Amino acid sequence: MRNMEITKEYIKRYLLLIVGLFIIAVGTALSTKARLGTTPISSIPLVLSLGLPWSMGEITIVLQMVFVAFQIVILRREYQLFQLLQLVVGVLFGYFTDFALHFISGIQINSYFVQWLVCIVSIFVIALGVFLEVKANVVMLAGEGLVKAISQKTHKDFGKTKVCFDIALIIISVIASACMFHKLNGVREGTIASALLVGRIVSYYDKRLN
């Protein structure tokens, strides 16, 4: 009986995780549609997808694999094998992202005001998905897993490490955009807004939602 209850609990947690991932993907697709930039973690896939013959979701999956590899290199013997489930989570998130992008492909945005409106909505949607991902408390996306690994090895605060990690992702995206297009493409004011607001809104959801 006890084992059955534990199994049900984990089924609920993983379902919550999957719902959270899908909501993050929808928010990411909305931010991409707004053309004001997306979250730091998705900025590299967005920039590369604009210049390469691969979809944003496909590049996201590759990037998640790279993040897992970095975790293994950083933690070595401390790396827990069950964290390899992050690869499954990354693949799901990549496919969800492509599905969401395809689903909203018909939406037309013709004014800067509407761009910002969609961008703000996307930030709240992404924050809700991240909140659910955290509440599931099973396996997180590999990006957050890498931040946790760096924080663990350097004995630095997770939040501060996350800020530095996001800044690094934005810088890489800017460099990639400059090299590929000789201008900023895919990294704009919405990227900064997302970096500043998503974490705060997640904290708000944490206080308001049970």
**Over the stretch 50-106, which tens digit does the pLDDT of each residue have?**
999 999 999 999 999 999 999 999 998 888 888 899 999 999 999 999 999 999 988
Summarize the confidence of residues 131-136 as an average pLDDT.
89
Domain contains 110: yes
Domain contains 68: yes
Which residues 6+ apart lie within 8 Å of 38 measured at CB? 28, 31, 32, 46, 122, 186, 190, 191, 194
Domain contains 67: yes
d(CA 190, CA 36): 5
Q: Which amino acid is at 170?
A: I
Give the count of domains, the chain: 1
Domain contains 78: yes
Domain contains 158: yes
d(CA 192, CA 202): 16
pTM (2 decimals)?
0.90
Using CB atoms within 10 A of its CB, is residue 82 exposed (0-12), middle (13-18) or buried (19+)? Answer: exposed
Domain contains 1: no
CA atoms within 13 A on the CB side of 81: 0
| H and E: helices and strands count for the chain | 8, 0
Task: Using alpha carbons, list the distances in angstroms from residue 131 to 64, 66, 102, 198.
Answer: 19, 24, 24, 10
Task: Report which of 131, 137, 120 is spatially closest to residue 194, judged by C-alpha positions.
Answer: 120
- CA 94 from chain centre, in angstroms, equals 10
3-state secondary structure of 54: coil
Question: What pLDDT does residue 174 have?
Answer: 94
Q: What is Dmax (Cα atoms) for the chain? A: 62
How confident is the model over 4-53, as pLDDT tens digits? 888 888 899 999 999 999 999 999 999 999 999 899 999 999 999 999 99
The domain containing residue 17 runs over which residues?
6-208
Domain contains 40: yes
Task: Report which of 58, 150, 142, 146 is spatially closest to residue 97, judged by C-alpha positions.
Answer: 58
Contact, 48 vs 170, CB < 8 A?
Answer: no
Which residues 6+ apart lie within 8 Å of 99 measured at CB? 25, 57
How confident is the model over 140-166, as pLDDT tens digits? 899 988 998 998 889 888 778 888 898
Q: Which amino acid is at 62?
A: V
d(CA 173, CA 40): 8
